[in-house]
Chain A
Amino acid sequence: MAEISRELADIINDKESLKVIATTDAQGNPHVVFKGTLHTEGQDLVFYDLLQSSQVNKNLVSSIWFGRKVAINILAKDKRSFLITAKPRRSVTAGRVFEEVYASLKDRNPDGDLNAIWYLEPEHIEEKTFAVRRAEEEAAFPILKHLDRLVKEERS
């Protein structure tokens, strides 16, 4: 299990951050969806799925059944980005906690519904901000570049 740092938790819990979850179905077909409700609870990543027939819900059920992982990307408002691979740990579909979340969602959207609360356990976290990745690549693999970037300027 990977640890979610305080800094990353703040980014994940920031309403202005963009959060996407990529899952696959049993046949390996990929699916990506934005999940604005994704947040942290302790070391879990948690989000609310609103539609029982949603593809992400089906894929997460399939993943918790067969031990598959999901990928999450967080894009902060300062353009830093983080890739998290995680395993679905638990789906809460009824009970007191479910009802509390249902009530809070109804405050925001009186006609809304709730299908499940998904708890995801992060397994690997990596910063993917472009500047960070570029610096990493240049340090590790200096030959990975177009030659024209290295052309000597001609004197006029």
Chain B
Amino acid sequence: MSRNSENGWRSKELPYDQVIEKYPEIPPIVALKIDVSRRGIHYTQAALDRVDPDKHHVEPYNYMIGHGKNAAPIGLFLRDGSVICQGDTPDYSKAYRDPYTLDVVDGRLVLTDEEIGKVYEEVTFWDRPDFYDKKTSNGTPMCLVASARPQRITIAPQTKCHFWDTPGEGCKYCALFSAHRSKDDEGEIRDEKWFQDVEETTREALKEKGRYCSFHMTAGSTLSGAEIFDDEVDLYIKTLHAAEKAFKTEKFPVKLVASAFSKKQLQRMYDETAITTYTTDLEVLNPELFKWICPGKSRLVGYEEWKHRLYDAVEIFGRGNVDCGIVGGVETAQPNGFADEDEALAAVLAEAEEMGRHGVSFADCVWNALPGSMFVNQKTPSLEYYVKLALGLAEVRRKNGLKIYTDDYRRCGNHPNTDLARID
């Protein structure tokens, strides 16, 4: 028996159909995306048989995780033009809830809930980026230099997060770059050859006209330098300078998701690179839980200082051009998190409101207890909680007159609250 078939989770929370009835202001398709992100997707053999690696976007390995796996799709299109950033979950026996199913019904690729026996939405696979087949002049496969979503290219200059250097100090929900966590592992090597690879890969990717709206960079945190993160800033600047050679303008749409840089570091990034927006993730909007869930960030920067650095960033980039990523729902992790979902929501939205008044927008990732994270066995919140969180964060943005184009459905696609900005 799997964990999810034993625990009776379906009887303990409102199902999708009742949630959309109770909250008519949430678009059903956004609620479904949230629920799929929360529960995951299992591909049937019929769905897998529909995958054409020459046509569809399959990852030979998970670029953002670093583990090897079978080549498989990493996301789906919904009929409103938004995306679900989830691939196949082959083994879900240890997950708290069983996943949605991607199946073929009446010749259509659809999301279903097998136990309920209902077809929810028709979906399509993402198309394969043209550059995935190419190699740089150094012989590096370009799919190892960059990853892509339907409308963004992603480069990760650092595949090691150094908060993991001190045992137990990595963020507890995080599975990113989990292949590089041992103290002696420095991650992928970024020598001059690699920067040349970045330039060539960027140039090649841009030949696919009409595909990319955003150049996305993110990486594990680098703590070294005269001031904490100085070396990380240097690495981003050098990477951007390599990519910039492919562009004719000094500024272009970059979505940088990085550590909480000091004002001096931010000013340098703004002055010396193409960036016009900036994202740094406070992850959990509660000082005490931040200390428990993100111990490295807490010890070396601190909650209030991280927040203060977001406010400093607003002075440089402007209101609505500074974004704070959160792992929505992780505030309910046990044993230290909120046991009551209403209390959790009230606390998170109050803090979001304060930060929104300072011009900071939010990007809410649906917390999924991922393999490779310390929270793998946690129970994530109900769908109702996530729906109220997305609606509440959207209201904070509207109330404070903020835009979120830098992290919207098109330039990222993984945030239900920013999907809601499509009609603002």
Interface residues of A (CB under 8 A from B): 25-26, 52, 58-59, 61-62, 64-66, 89-96, 98-99, 101-103, 106, 114, 116
Contacts and interface: CB of A to CB of B under 8 A. Distances in A.
Given A99-B209, A102-B210, A25 B423 contact: yes
Contacts of B126: 94-95
B40 to A, nearest CB: 23
Contacts of B409: 93
B273 interface: no
Given A65-B30, A91-B79, A98-B210, A26 B150 contact: no
Nearest to B124: A95
A89 B127 CA distance: 20
Contacts of B77: 94-95
A149 B254 CA distance: 69
A91 B424 CA distance: 17
Contact of A64 (B80, B151, B210, B410): B80
B27 A94 contact: no
Nearest to B150: A94
25 contacts: A26-B423, A52-B410, A58-B422, A58-B424, A61-B80, A61-B423, A65-B27, A65-B80, A66-B27, A91-B80, A92-B81, A93-B81, A93-B82, A94-B127, A95-B126, A95-B127, A95-B150, A98-B210, A99-B208, A99-B210, A99-B211, A101-B210, A102-B209, A106-B209, A106-B210
Given A58-B424, A65-B80, A92-B81, 16 more contacts: A25-B423, A52-B410, A61-B81, A64-B79, A64-B80, A65-B27, A90-B81, A91-B81, A93-B410, A94-B81, A94-B410, A95-B126, A95-B150, A99-B208, A99-B209, A114-B210
Contacts of A52: 405, 410
A99 B205 CA distance: 13
Given A58-B424, A65-B30, A93-B151, A103 B209 contact: yes
Interface string B180-212: 000000000000000000000000000011110
Interface in B115-165: 124, 126-127, 150-151
A96 B209 contact: no
Interface residues of B, number: 24
Interface string B17-39: 00000000001111000000000
A93 B124 CA distance: 12
Interface in B26-58: 27-30
A94 B79 contact: no
Kindly list the 6 A-B residue pairs having the minimum CB-CB distance in the complex, ordered from nearest: A102-B210, A65-B27, A93-B81, A94-B150, A91-B81, A99-B210
A104 B138 CA distance: 34
Nearest to A101: B210
A131 B374 CA distance: 73
A65 B150 contact: no
Contacts of B80: 61, 64-65, 90-91
Contacts of A98: 210
Contacts of A96: 127
Nearest to A116: B81
B189 to A, nearest CB: 32
Nearest to A59: B423
A94 B125 CA distance: 11
B423 A94 contact: no
A114 B79 CA distance: 17
A37 to B, nearest CB: 15
A99 B405 CA distance: 21
A102 B150 CA distance: 14
A101 B211 CA distance: 11
A89 B210 contact: no
Nearest to A89: B79
A69 B14 CA distance: 30
A66 to B, nearest CB: 7
